[in-house]
Each structure stands twice: as structure tokens, then as C-alpha cells.
A and B are shown apart, each in its own frame.
Chain A
């Protein structure tokens, strides 16, 4: 008996809720959400590029020194000048090489 009463109550309540809370029209809401998501994606990418650029700038000098040391070691062990000769490596070259690699690094970070 109570079950039937509750069922009737439920149906009545559902009807009242439907009446009192009709569906809300979109009115550009979805577009605003998608635009906001797009902005966040662009912002995230920009931050990643900035962080990668900063990292590369910081890494440029140690990386150059490492390459110079490697060039010196190879020159000493092979007894002749190799492609990695110290004077051929300028920090700018390293920055450019790492800069070219940065989109790949950023895409890895994004994944």
C-alpha cells in the first residue's frame, strides 16, 4: 500500500519537477565553453614553449661545454681533429639545434 502510494508520489513529483524545471536553452553556452577550452589549450601550449625555450637557454652553455669536451677527448684519442672540434661549436649553434628540436619535445610533453 505504502509502495503504491510512494510510486504515485514519485510520479507526481517527477511531473512537478518537469514543470518547474524545464530544459535550459543553450543560448551560446556550449560555444562559450568550447572557446574557453580552446583558449586554455593555446595557453598551455604557449607555457610549454616558453618553458622549453627557457630550459634550452639555460642548457645551451653546459651543452656547448659538453660538446667541446667530447670534441677535445675525441681529438686526443684519435690523434686528429674531428668534426666535433671545440672551435666549431658556438653556443648559438647549440641553441638553434635544440630550438629546432623543441616542437618535438613539446609534443612529447603534451602527450
Chain B
């Protein structure tokens, strides 16, 4: 059995390190506590982002879990160039894209068997959607790309370059998406962005 003092010491060192130090510890020592601290630090950002992208809380949490499991598997490939959160968001975004592709394949297959089953699926799919604010309603009306870059920029605080890296879009495209999304927010809810 592990000495409680040693365990506390291990936990406190895990809590105090920077993301990069924790990654180094997790990779070199296979330190589960260090990785656990990384999960605790970033779970909120990953889940917020995925909830906005999927608009389904349960699916978002499943994808977030998958993201962290994948992060553990690929942790040694994190080069330390750029922020850890940006690397993590790239994994999360890929998980989202993969799930969307699966959903498309699924609905295409269901379509072949008739519309009755599709209606049932759509009902079940919308069960997890819950928007608590006007902003989320506005975001839901944006295109997927616009929503993604807006959430990453304004909710997660990623730079344009980081968003480009995460989504694979050129920086110019990121900027134009943000510009268009801003305009659409102004059009739909002038009081939201008109500077009250």
C-alpha cells in the first residue's frame, strides 16, 4: 500500500506544475496523477467547446472522454511547441468531426430504410439540446465553421493562429469566419452587439 505522505506529496507536486511539466511527468514516468491533473484543469474547456459544437450535452461528454483517452495514448507526440490546450482542442475537434461523419453515415443508412425511423432518431437526438441563453441561440443559427471559430476565440481564448492549427483552416479563413459571424450576430440581435 502506498504511503499516504508520499501520495500527498506526489499529488501536490502534480497540482503545482505547468501543463508542459505535467505532460513531461506523465510521459516519462507514466504518472497517472500528473495526467489526472491535466484532465481536471482542462475538462471544462473541452466540454464547453464540444457542447457548443455538438449541441448535445451527452454526446459532448462522450466525445470529451474520448478526447482525453486519445490524449493519453498520444501524449508522447505532444512536441511542446504551442500550448497544451491548443493541442488538446485539436484532438477534441477531430473527435467532433469524426462523430459528425459517423452520424452522417448513420442517417444516410437510416434514410434508405424509410423516414419513420429518421423521425424517431431526430427526436432522440434533440433530447440533449439545452440552450440557456440568447447567445447560444444565435450561435446555433451560425454555420458550423463560424460557430467553431467563435467558441474557440471568445469562449476558450485561443488565438487566430491556434484556431487555424486546431481546425486546419488558414488564418485568413478564420478571420473571415469571425468577421461574418460578428455581422450575423449584429443582424440577428442588434442589441447584442450594438454597444448598449
* Interface members, chain B 42-79 (any A CB < 8 Å): 43-44, 47-48, 51-52, 61, 64-65, 68-69, 72
> Is residue B193 within 8 Å, beta carbon to beta carbon, of the partner chain?
yes
Contact B47 A29 (CB under 8 A): yes
Q: Is the interface of B mostly helix, strand, loop or mixed?
A: helix
Contact A37 B69 (CB under 8 A): yes
**Chain B, interface residues (CB within 8 Å), range:** 20 to 34
Contact A30 B40 (CB under 8 A): yes
> Is residue B164 within 8 Å, beta carbon to beta carbon, of the partner chain?
no
- Nearest CB of chain A from residue B47's CB, rounded to whole Å: 5
- Nearest CB of chain B from residue A104's CB, rounded to whole Å: 18
* Interface members, chain B 152-196 (any A CB < 8 Å): 154-155, 182, 185, 192-193, 195
Contact A12 B195 (CB under 8 A): yes
> Is residue B132 within 8 Å, beta carbon to beta carbon, of the partner chain?
yes
Contact A20 B135 (CB under 8 A): yes
A14 to B193, CA, bound (A): 11
Knowing A17-B154, A20-B133 are in contact, say whether A8-B39 is a contact too (CB < 8 A).
no
CB closest residue in chain A, given B131: A20
- Nearest CB of chain A from residue B139's CB, rounded to whole Å: 8
Interface residue from A23, A29, A37 paired with B48 (Cβ < 8 Å): A23
Contact B39 A30 (CB under 8 A): yes
> Is residue A9 within 8 Å, beta carbon to beta carbon, of the partner chain?
yes
How many chain A residues touch B (CB < 8 A): the figure is 26
- Offer 8 A-B interface pairs, CB within 8 angstroms, sorted by A: A12-B195, A13-B154, A21-B52, A24-B51, A29-B47, A30-B39, A33-B43, A34-B36
> Is residue B32 within 8 Å, beta carbon to beta carbon, of the partner chain?
yes
Knowing A23-B44, A29-B47 are in contact, say whether A16-B135 is a contact too (CB < 8 A).
yes
> Is residue A88 within 8 Å, beta carbon to beta carbon, of the partner chain?
no
Interface residue from B32, B43, B52, B182 paired with A26 (Cβ < 8 Å): B43
Contact A9 B182 (CB under 8 A): yes
> Is residue A42 within 8 Å, beta carbon to beta carbon, of the partner chain?
no
> Is residue A87 within 8 Å, beta carbon to beta carbon, of the partner chain?
no
- Nearest CB of chain A from residue B23's CB, rounded to whole Å: 15
> Is residue B136 within 8 Å, beta carbon to beta carbon, of the partner chain?
yes
Contact B44 A19 (CB under 8 A): no
Known contacts A12-B195, A14-B154, A20-B132, then 14 further A-B pairs from the complex at CB < 8 Å, ordered by chain A residue: A9-B182, A13-B150, A16-B154, A16-B192, A19-B135, A20-B135, A21-B136, A26-B40, A30-B36, A33-B68, A33-B69, A34-B32, A34-B36, A36-B65
- Nearest CB of chain A from residue B196's CB, rounded to whole Å: 8
